[in-house]
Chains A and B, each alone.
Chain A
Amino acid sequence: MVGWEGTIALDKGTAARLDDRLERSALGDQFAFEEIVRQHQGMVFSMACHFLRDRSLAEELAQEVFLNLHQNLRSIKSPEHLVFWLRKVTSHRCIDQSRRLKVRPQVSLEDVPEPSIDATENDLFLSEMLRRVVDTLPEKARLVVILRYQEDLDPGEIASVLDMPLNTVKSHLRRSLSSLRDKLSRTLGEVTL
C-alpha cells in the first residue's frame, strides 16, 4: 500500500514555498490559510460534488473539511501530507454524508434513462450520462472511480486514501468500468467505448 509520502513529487522550490505557507498558517496566519484554501478548494469541492451530485451540499461539505483542516493544521507535516489528508477526510465525509442524509436514491443501472440524442454529437451530454451511471455504483466503488478519473490516482494511491486493500480497489475499478461499458454500449448502440 502506498503512503502519502510518495503521492506527489514537488520540486524543491515549490515544496519550500508550500512548507512555509503551511507553517505560517499553523501559526495563525489567515492569509496563508486563505492561499491553501484557494489552492485546494477545487479538488475538495469537485470530489464532494461528483459524489453527492448536489452543489450546495458539496460546498457545505467542503467548508466542513477546510474548517477541520483549520483545527488540525499543526498535525500536517508537508504539502504532500496536506493533499493526502484532504482527499482522505473528504472521502470519509462524503460517505458519512451519503449515509446520514440518504440524499442519493438507490437507482439501478437499468433504471437510468436512455438518452434521446446522439451522444457522439454532444460531449456534455455524454459526460452527464457517465456521471449518472457512476452515480448508480456503490459508495466505495463510486469514490474509487472519482479518485481514479478526477484526481488521476493510481490504484495503490487510492487504496491508501480509502484504507482499502489494493486488490479490492482493482476489482472495484474493473467491475465499475465493465458495468459502465455495458450500460453505455447498450445505450449508445454502435459507439464503441
Chain B
Amino acid sequence: MTTSRAAWTPRAGGALAGTAFAGTGELTRLAVRRDRIGLSAAVYVIVALVAGTAYSFRKLYPTQAGRAALAATGESNPALRFLYGRLDGDSLGSLTTWRYGIWAAIFTALMAIFVVVRHTRADEEAGRLELMGSAAVGRDAPLTAGLLPAAAASLVIAGLLWLVLPLVHLPAAGSAALALGIGGCGLTFTGITAVAAQLASTARAARGIALGALGAAFALRGVGDAAGPGGPSWLSWASPLGWVQLARPFAAERWWVLGLPLAVFAAGVALAFRLAAHRDHGAGLLPDRPGRAAASRWLSGPSGLAWRLQRGALAGWAFGFAATFAASGAAAKGVGQLFGTSSALQRAFTRIGGQTAIVNAYLAGLMLLAGMVAAAYATSAVLRLRTEETAGRAEPVLATATSRVRWGLSHLGVAAGGSALLLAVAGLAAGLGYGLRTGSPGPEAARMLGAATAQLPATLLMAGVAVALVGWWPGGAVAGAWTAVGAVVAISLFGAALQLSHWGLDISPFTHVPKLPGGPVAVTPLLWLSLAALALAAAGLAGLRRRDIG
C-alpha cells in the first residue's frame, strides 16, 4: 500500500500538484488509452472520406465542362442544397467542399459528442469518477481530461487534412480553410457537449441534448442553404455546420469565419467549468423528473415491456428515416442530369439499381439502402434479448409465468413491426419527397410504399439470423449478427464491383429482392425469403427453449 501510494503521488501531482488541475495528465492518458482504437478509426475515416472524395472527383470529372455541369445541377436543386449545402464555383476543391465539407463536419461533431459524454457524464453516472475524485485529483481535472481527447482529435483531423489535401492537388489555402472548418466543428461540439454533460444527470440525456443541437444545426443551415433568393438564407449563419462553407474554402476564403468555432468552443468550455463548480457530484442542473408510481394499463405482458423498452429507439430511427428519405427522394428529380455528367457514376448506379432509367435506378438504390438500414435496426432490436439476458434482467421476467418463446417473441415482434414501420416511412417519405417536386405526390408515395415493402422479407431474414444466433450461439450472437449485417451490406454495395461470383452475390438476401420501382415484380423470391426468415426465427426460438439462461 505504502509503495503504491509513494509511486502515485508524484505522478498525480507533477507541475499541477495541489492545483485544481492536479492529475489531469494521468486522467487524459487514461481516457486516450480507453479510446485509442475508436478515436484513431474516426480520424482515419473522416480524413480518408474527404481526401478520397477529392481524389475520385478528379477521376470522375476530368473536364472543366463536366465539373461545371455537376456544379450547376448541385446549385440548382434545393433538395441537394439542403443535403450538401451551397457551391462556390466549380473547382475540384469547391466540389469536394460541397459534397463532403458539411458531412465530414457532422462526423467530426458526432465523434466529439460521443467521446466527451463518455469521459464526463457517463463516467460520473457509472461512479468511476467518484473513485478517481477520491484520489489526488484536482477539482477541474476530470472535466479537463474529459474534453482533451475530443479537442485533440478534432485538431488532428484538421492537421491531417491540411497536410493531405494538397497531396491530392488541391490549393493549399483552400485546403487549410476546409481542414480548419471541419476540425473547428469538432471543437464547437466539444464545447456544446461539455455544457450538456453538466446540465443532464444521465449520459443518455447529455447525448440527447448534444445530438439535438447537432440536428438543429443541420436543419438551420439546410433551410438556409435550400432557400431561394429572398428566402431566409441568413439561417446558415446561425449554424456551426454552415460555417464550414461560409468560410468559402477554395473560393476567396473568409478567414475570420474560422474564428467562430473557436469562440463557441471557448465559451462552452468556460461555461461548463462554471456549471461544474456549482453543482454536486452525480447531479445535473436539470432536475430528474419523477415517473409514475404505478404501471399504466399498457405495461402488462412481456410485449408491453418490450415495447416500452424499445419505443424510444424506434421513434428516433423513424424520425431519421423520414428526414433522410424525404430529402433523398426530393433529390431524385435532378438526379438524371447529375449522373449524366459522369459516365462512370452512371454505370455504377445502373449496376446497383439494375435499371436503365436513372431516376428509377436511383430510387431503387434508395430502397435497397432503406432495406439494409432497416435490417440493422431489426438486428439491434432482436439483440436486445441478449442484452437483457446478460444484464440479468431476463431472469426476473422468465421466473414469472412468461414462457421463453413468449419472451423471445416480444422483442422479435418489436423488431419485425419496427422494421416494417421504418420501411413504410422510407417509402412514403421518398415518394412524397420526389412526388411533391414532380407534382404527383399521391401516386409516387403509393408506388414507393410498394417498393419499400418488397424489402421487408429480406430485412426480416436478417432479424431471423439474429434470433437463430441468440438461440443457438448466445456467446457469439452480438458479434455474429453484426458480422452478418456487415457482410450483406458489403456484398450488396460492392459485390458487383468486386466481380463476386453469382454464388457470392446470392448469399445476400437483398440480391433476390426485385429492383423496385421500375423492375418487374417477382413474388416467388419474396415468398422464399419470408419462409427462410420464419424458419430461422422458429429455429432460434427452439434453441432458446432448450438452453441455459444467463
A, B: real partners = no
Residues of B within 8 A of A (CB): none
